[in-house]
Structure 1
Amino acid sequence: MSTPTDTTPAQPTWDPDVAAIIARSSRSGSLRAVGVEGARRALESIERPAGPQMQSVRDATVDGPHGPIPLRLYRPPAAPPENAPALVWFHGGGMIMGSLHSFDRLARDIADATGAVVCNVDYRLAPEHRYPVANDEAYAALHWLTDNATDQGVDPARIGVGGDSAGGSLATATALRSRDENGPAIAQQVLFYPGLERRTDRPSMREFGDSPFLTAEDIDWMKNLYLGDDPATDDSYGVPALTDSLAGLPPAILAVGYGDPLRDAVEAYGDRLRAAGVPTAQLRYPGMGHGFAMQAPSVARARAAISEVGALVAARFR
């Protein structure tokens, strides 16, 4: 006699701090239900404790292919006044939300953990600005910091790219484009749970596609707002998982939570990087969902993850 099989999707055992966030959350359903403006208001309204103190925080505006691009440069206490390592950083938000304000805390955390100057890029958002606008602005920001490294107290040989979620996708695409166009040499890529593909039928997507932090419906909606509705028009910069070859890319660090629906796509990309001969560190954090780096103020394991990634980044820069 066969035993009935339970086909109920698995649920992660959330870290206690993450479980407390879920218990306090008033969110129900997908972001699509509140719309673009509602999602933006919700993100910008979150109050976060002040982040680590910096030597300096300076705003700049640079010329870009679609107009001026606001940047914010964070110099942490550990960074020397000259020839400091740097990360050109792209914030998350599904390509439709996020700002220098809402990602200020994360930028400070990354700068403090890595000892690198963080150049946070306030790229234009969809649906007002669809692909390839944000990708173009990400690449332009890399060029600007490389071209102006000495003036910014940055070592041009130690500039990396990084980002979280949608920003991780932009960082990945920027590394691909710089390789393909013989652009600036990138020292490393630092990717927190990057969104590298449209929704694909992977086990983590089936298991956690209705998670409290990111749903499958969210992914479809936000990807369509930036890339358009027709996957046949996608290319390897808008959807980095489509790229044929990953050879010749800079060393990579990929961090993802066990309960993230993007987990399997992130780890598959990491496997491809290693197979292509790219030095790659892959870190999976138990009890964590999508967006955990933004939860660092209240989640001890998220703070530990940022510290761990930061130590790897610092070692690579050395």
Structure 2
Amino acid sequence: MQLTPKITQILNHLETIQPFNPQDSLDGARKFLETMSLQLSGKKEAVAVIEELHIPQENHQIPVRIYRPKGKEIQQSSAIIYIHGGWFIAGGYETHDAVVRKLANKTGSVVIFIDYRLAPEHPFPAGLNDSLDSIKWVIQNAESLGIDPDKIGIIGDSAGAALATAVSTKIGKHLKFQVLIYPAVDNQLNSKTWETYENGPVLNKQGGIEAWAGYLPEEEKENPLAIPVLIKDFKETPSTLIILAEHDPLLDDGKQLSENMKNAGVDISISFYKDMVHGFMHMGELLEEVQSAVDEMAAFAHQKLKSGE
């Protein structure tokens, strides 16, 4: 494994991160992601407005954060739903704030970030249901949100890409495009790249096993909506861009998903980021590839929003 000096510098830094006063290993994992994002994401771009609201459900509320880009009229904007990663057990507003700000400004779209319920407190299908319910609510309330309901796409990273994949098989006809960033779509963790990168960088197999165990109830172990590499029916899935990283244990799983989509006739583009590791989108302080990926996602979004496909 040949790592670039910048990646080596980042990985050395990650080894020094000590989560503050973790209550247990789960709390430690959540705080580690927050600390990593805070320290490595780089300067946050200003956006025009950030709003926070709660979508009422029968027994709970779903928090969402709305990012409105600089220099855009509020009315009839395109929109991107963002579903965050963190192994289904971690992540939230602050871990992804820097990336989402960049995406809002570069795409010129309103970005709606869903703070879905996390496992193990809320195992599958809680996060998927929150994602689906939030998107349906956005479509129903598009006018009051200043959004064009016919110009909505979805972006998900890692575990969020698994949720996005499942979402788009259910309500993809309402979405103009989908972007999946290093998707976590298989619970088996038995691919060649998992063998190569069992102990990292960034992810390790033991952490993955524990995360999936907390996320996936026994009775859901064959459910394609929980394990998207098992999905066969992609007829609702919109045009998709998959972003993969070279030194990522999830690389082969992402390739397998893209192969499955291609075989099902999905309009798919695959972008391979050489030298990159899992989670590189949080490393904008040192990696220019973060801006390259944002630029690529924005170009893809613009093309699909314009094409009227």
Alpha-carbon distance between aligned partners in 1 of 2:219 and 2:249, rounded to the nearest angstrom: 20
Aligned to 2:20: none
After TM superposition, the structure 1 = structure 2 runs for residues 247-286 of structure 1, keeping only pairs within 5 Å, are 247-286=235-274
Q: Assess if the C-alpha contact under 8 Å between 2:169 and 2:235 holds in 1.
A: no
Aligned to 1:241: 229
Deviation at 1:271, TM superposition (A): 1.8
Deviation at 1:65, TM superposition (A): 5.0
Residue 287 (str. 1) matches residue 275 (str. 2): yes
After TM superposition, the structure 1 = structure 2 runs for residues 188-199 of structure 1, keeping only pairs within 5 Å, are 188-199=177-188
Q: Assess if the C-alpha contact under 8 Å between 1:208 and 1:261 holds in 2.
A: yes
Q: Assess if the C-alpha contact under 8 Å between 1:177 and 1:237 holds in 2.
A: no
Alpha-carbon distance between aligned partners in 2 of 1:140 and 1:306, rounded to the nearest angstrom: 27
Residue 157 (str. 1) matches residue 150 (str. 2): yes
Deviation at 1:80, TM superposition (A): 3.4
Partner amino acid, structure 2, of 1:250? P
- Could you tell me the TM-score, scaled by structure 2's length? 0.90
Q: Alignment partner of 1:25: what SS?
A: helix
Structure 2 gap segments, 5+ residues each: 18-23
Alpha-carbon distance between aligned partners in 1 of 2:201 and 2:224, rounded to the nearest angstrom: 29
Partner amino acid, structure 2, of 1:118? V
| Root mean square deviation of aligned Cα | 2.0
Deviation at 1:232, TM superposition (A): 6.4
Residue 52 (str. 1) matches residue 19 (str. 2): no
Partner amino acid, structure 2, of 1:14? L
Q: Assess if the C-alpha contact under 8 Å between 1:91 and 1:167 holds in 2.
A: yes
Structure 1 gap segments, 5+ residues each: 1-10, 29-33
Alpha-carbon distance between aligned partners in 2 of 1:78 and 1:16, rounded to the nearest angstrom: 37
Deviation at 1:187, TM superposition (A): 1.1
Q: Alignment partner of 1:103: what SS?
A: helix
The correspondence for 2:27, drawn from 20, 31, 37, is 37
Q: Deviations over 1:68-116 (max 9, x none)?
A: 0110001112543222111111111111111112221121122123221
Q: Identity of paired residues, percent? A: 27
Partner amino acid, structure 2, of 1:213? V
Q: Alignment partner of 2:200: what SS?
A: coil
After TM superposition, the structure 1 = structure 2 runs for residues 5-44 of structure 1, keeping only pairs within 5 Å, are 11=1, 13-26=2-15, 35-44=25-34
Q: Assess if the C-alpha contact under 8 Å between 2:201 and 2:247 holds in 1.
A: no
Aligned to 1:211: 200
Q: Alignment partner of 1:170: what SS?
A: helix
Alpha-carbon distance between aligned partners in 1 of 2:57 and 2:132, rounded to the nearest angstrom: 9
- Could you tell me the TM-score, scaled by structure 1's length? 0.88
Partner amino acid, structure 2, of 1:216? K
Q: Which piece of structure 1 moves more, 118-127 or 13-22?
A: 13-22
Deviation at 1:138, TM superposition (A): 0.4
Q: Deviations over 1:232-257 (max 9, x none)?
A: 63311111111122233111011010
Pick closer, same or farther for the CA change 1:109–1:140 going to 2, 3 Å: same
Deviation at 1:67, TM superposition (A): 0.8
Deviation at 1:308, TM superposition (A): 1.7
Aligned to 1:167: 160
Q: Deviations over 1:37-86 (max 9, x none)?
A: 11112222343444211111111111135410110001112543222111
Pick closer, same or farther for the CA change 1:178–1:218 going to 2, 3 Å: same
Alpha-carbon distance between aligned partners in 2 of 1:40 and 1:172, rounded to the nearest angstrom: 23
Q: Assess if the C-alpha contact under 8 Å between 1:115 and 1:314 holds in 2.
A: no
The correspondence for 2:169, drawn from 172, 176, 183, is 176
Q: Assess if the C-alpha contact under 8 Å between 2:84 and 2:156 holds in 1.
A: yes
Q: Assess if the C-alpha contact under 8 Å between 2:93 and 2:115 holds in 1.
A: yes
> Greater helix share, 1 or 2?
2
Deviation at 1:222, TM superposition (A): 0.4
Q: Assess if the C-alpha contact under 8 Å between 1:162 and 1:189 holds in 2.
A: yes
Alpha-carbon distance between aligned partners in 1 of 2:107 and 2:174, rounded to the nearest angstrom: 19
Residue 136 (str. 1) matches residue 129 (str. 2): yes
Q: Alignment partner of 2:90: what SS?
A: coil
Aligned to 1:8: none
Alpha-carbon distance between aligned partners in 1 of 2:168 and 2:259, rounded to the nearest angstrom: 17
Aligned to 1:67: 60
Alpha-carbon distance between aligned partners in 1 of 2:194 and 2:51, rounded to the nearest angstrom: 39
